[in-house]
Amino acid sequence: AGKFYQHAPTETSQATLAVVSPVFAVMKFDKEGNTTYFEKKKTELYQELGLQARDLRFQHVVSIATRNNKIIMRMEFLKAVITPEFLLILDYRNLSMEHWLLNELGSQLAGEGQLVTYSLPFEFRAIEAILQYWISKLQERLNTLQPQILETLEALVDPKLLSVDRSILRILLQNGKSLSELETDVKVFKETILEILDEEEVIEELCLSKWTDPQVFEESTSGIDHAEEMELLLENYYRQAEDLLNEARELRVLIDDSENIIFINLDSHRNVMMRLNLQLTMGTFSVSLFGLIGVAFGMNLESSLEEDPRIFWLVTGIMFLGSGLIWRRLLSFLGRHLEPPPPHVPAVLKKSQPPTGRVEIKTSLKGETFGLSRSTLTNQ
């Protein structure tokens, strides 16, 4: 009775776990590209495949691993189990890949597509088809972001704009965030392949048919080395991921350069406004200074000057002329102090180079400094 009492809760808990076990919607592809659909509980599925429960614990990560002569591929929402005889796609009801699964994957596995591994065993075709799909999804995301970012930057770096439209900045911020997410996904994909390329044993384990089919094993040992073919296949998609990451980095550099151009334009307009404000302040000071003469004549004091009809025009002329001279003097003083000092040239260069050479160097440096980012954007 005591033993029965001890084992009963365990059996009940196992039955309960079996009931609440998740159900996978599975799409199965064989070597000829034929497709079958079925649903199966997780416990039944990993028992049939000879796997552990943790092997089918799919998170939204990117990884490629081998378990018990099976290849388990995780490409975020794409979850696959590859064997030497068939390919299983788990939880395939995803709108973003239904078209690929229904119209393209079967024909690719059957030999009707652009794969380069048709002469190799089935697992090569399955791995290449999945890697090709995932790299194409990343490329589509970049192709969608690139024109949007270029159009937004072109609207922002216009030097005629005195202010920046906040709605355009919001769009640029969203595109920059999407670009950062894309860069992260490409890096994870590239690092996942690189980890496999660094482990020779893992590459050998990916060649499933080499260890199950005697004929394939003889071909691999005598002629075609399947491990080398697998390594070349992974290196190909590693290079594609690297090229894709370089394009994303170029867009990132373009955004940074455009931000610098925007800051330069805003600083230039702000300096113009500050200079105008300073000029108006000097003009007000000049008028106020000579306006004291009018204040003196406006007091309720009697003198012999107010009886002369010519004194009004004389005093008014002195006020305007003096204000203009003082304002002009202040503006010339401001201009001398705001101009940048000439670059220091050593005495040896002054004697050896003609005067025009210094002007050409100065002009070229100025063009390179302020025209680099904008020319890069225009060319792009």
How far is the C-alpha of 349 from the C-alpha of 344, rounded, in Å?
A: 10
Chain centroid offset of residue 27 CA: 34
Classify the C-alpha dihedral 307-308-314-316 as positive or negative.
positive
Say which residue, 357 or 85, is predicted with more confidence.
85
Say which residue, 11 or 187, is predicted with more confidence.
187
Classify the C-alpha dihedral 197-198-203-205 as positive or negative.
negative
Q: Are 226 and 200 in contact (CB under 8 A)?
A: no
Least confident of 173-182, 208-217, 360-369: 360-369
Domain boundaries, the chain: 21-106, 114-267, 268-298+309-333
Residue 273 has pLDDT above 60, yes or no: yes
pLDDT-derived band at 142, boundaries 50, 70, 90: very high
Global pTM?
0.66
- Percent of the chain predicted with pLDDT > 90: 17
Q: Which residues contact 68 (CB under 8 A, 6 or more apart)?
A: 49, 50, 51
Cross-strand partners of 35:
29
Cα of first residue to Cα of last residue in the chain, in angstroms, is 81
| Mean pLDDT computed over 1-9 | 43
- Percent of the chain predicted with pLDDT > 70: 72
Report how far apart, in Å, the C-alpha atoms of 214 and of each of 18, 208, 210, 211, 221 are: 39, 11, 7, 7, 11
Residue 193 has pLDDT above 80, yes or no: yes
Cross-strand partners of 65:
72
pLDDT of 183: 92
Residue 14 has pLDDT above 60, yes or no: no
**How many CA atoms are closer than 13 Å to the CA of 164, on its beta-carbon side?**
22
Other CB atoms within 10 Å distance of the CB of residue 135:
18
Q: Do domains 21-106 and 114-267 have the same CATH topology?
A: no
pLDDT of 55: 76
Query: What value does the mean pLDDT of the chain take?
Result: 76
CATH T-level assignment (fold) for domain 21-106: Lipocalin (2.40.128)
Q: Are 82 and 208 in contact (CB under 8 A)?
A: yes
pLDDT of 158: 64
pLDDT of 139: 94
Query: In this structure, what are the phi and psi dihedrals at residue 300, rounded to the nearest 5 degrees?
Result: -80, 60
pLDDT of 223: 60
Q: What is the CA radius of gyration of the chain?
A: 39
pLDDT of 179: 92
Least confident of 140-154, 173-187, 286-300: 286-300
Tokens of 224: 């075609």
pLDDT of 300: 65
pLDDT of 20: 57
* H-run or E-run covering 87: strand 86-90
For domain 114-267, the CATH architecture is: Up-down Bundle (1.20)
Q: Are 287 and 185 in contact (CB under 8 A)?
A: no
Say which residue, 149 or 369, is predicted with more confidence.
149
Q: Are 124 and 229 in contact (CB under 8 A)?
A: yes
How far is the C-alpha of 80 from the C-alpha of 56, rounded, in Å?
A: 10
Residue 296 has pLDDT above 60, yes or no: yes
Which of 115, 161, 15, 133 has its CA nearest to residue 73?
Answer: 133
Q: Are 191 and 185 in contact (CB under 8 A)?
A: no
How far is the C-alpha of 108 from the C-alpha of 308, rounded, in Å?
A: 109
Query: In this structure, what are the phi and psi dihedrals at residue 163, rounded to the nearest 5 degrees?
Result: -140, 165
How far is the C-alpha of 207 from the C-alpha of 217, rounded, in Å?
A: 10
| Mean pLDDT computed over 223-239 | 87
pLDDT-derived band at 19, boundaries 50, 70, 90: low
pLDDT-derived band at 163, boundaries 50, 70, 90: low
Q: Which residues contact 372 (CB under 8 A, 6 or more apart)?
A: 257
Which of 150, 136, 370 has its CA nearest to residue 250?
Answer: 150
pLDDT of 120: 85
